[in-house]
Structures are given as structure tokens and as C-alpha cells.
Amino acid sequence: GLETKMNKGMSLIEILMTMTIFALLGMIVTSAIALSMKGTKKGESTIKVRESLDYALAIIERQLRNAEKVEPCSNSDPHVLNYLDRDGAATSFSCVGVGGADGYLASGSARLTTTDAAISACSLVCQTGTYSTPPQVQVDLTSGSVTLTTKIDLRTY
């Protein structure tokens, strides 16, 4: 009679197919992990940039609110803002190398923004006030995808 033969092992093709399926699954999982890590790093760098710009704006705001005066108030160069600090000493805020790989915001000669936040657009504009409104400084800063704008009313006028 006919005997049925029982195969107790796997054929070479079955083994190769199983290995191929696991290799594909491994590649998919690896690329998914890599993408999520990249997204996390981008998020962290955006946070660093925002913190750097926030810090710079806080210093500018504090210094200008306490300033004796900003002169000239209708500044012709939006990259430089000259003012007299509360002790009457002449100093300035300036946008240095804006749009370059290492653009930054400076107070006097001291750097206010970190190297993580290369400034791509920067504007420091003083608008003269009227008899009823104080002069105002508008600060616009851009680094990467982060743009911050603030208006600072000057106390002394």
C-alpha cells in the first residue's frame, strides 16, 4: 500500500520566507523609531530657540523700561537701537550678522542670544510718542521657525 510520509522539518523556502518577513518588520520598526527620535530632537531645538529669544526679549524690555531715554527715537537703522541706561550711560542693542549662519542679538558687545538660535530676521524700531502716548519700541526677532514680536512702552518721555 501507499504510505504517507510525515515531514517533521521545514523546507528551505519556508525558512527563507520567514526570515524575509522578519527582516522587513525589523526595517519598518527601526525607521519608525528613527523618525520619532528626529521629531523629538526638532522639538527640543525649537524649545531652545524660543527660550533664547524669550531671554533676549526679557532683557531688552527690562533695560528699555528703566532707560533714561532712547535716542534718536526714530532710529534710521532698524538693526541698531541706541539708548541711555538708567545711570545715563550710552549703550545699545544691535542685530549682528543677521541672516548669516551665526546671526545674533547683542547688548553693547555682549551676545544675548545663544548659538542655537541663529537670528535670520531682526528689527528694533522706536516710534515717537505723542503728548498722550509714550514712545514705543517694537522688537521683531526670527530664528528658524520661531518668530517673536513685542512692543515696549517707554516709561520716561
Whether residue 59 is contained in a domain is answered as yes
Q: Which residues constitute the domain of residue 56?
A: 12-153
Q: Is residue 2 part of a domain?
A: no
Cell numbers linked to 144: 528658524
Q: Is residue 97 part of a domain?
A: yes
pLDDT band at 3 (very low <50, low <70, confident <90, very high): low
Domain membership of residue 1 (yes or no) is no
Tell me, yes or no, whether 31 lies in a domain.
Answer: yes
Exposed/middle/buried for residue 15 (C-beta within 10 Å: 0-12, 13-18, 19+): exposed
Is residue 26 in some structural domain? yes
Distance CA 121, CA 66 (A): 26
- Whether the Cβ atoms of residue 96 and residue 105 lie closer than 8 Å to each other: yes
Domain assignment present for 21:
yes
Of 143, 139, 120, residue with least CA distance to 51: 143
pLDDT in tens, 98-132: 988 899 999 988 999 998 889 999 999 999 888 88
Number of domains in the chain: 1
Q: What is the pLDDT of residue 152?
A: 93
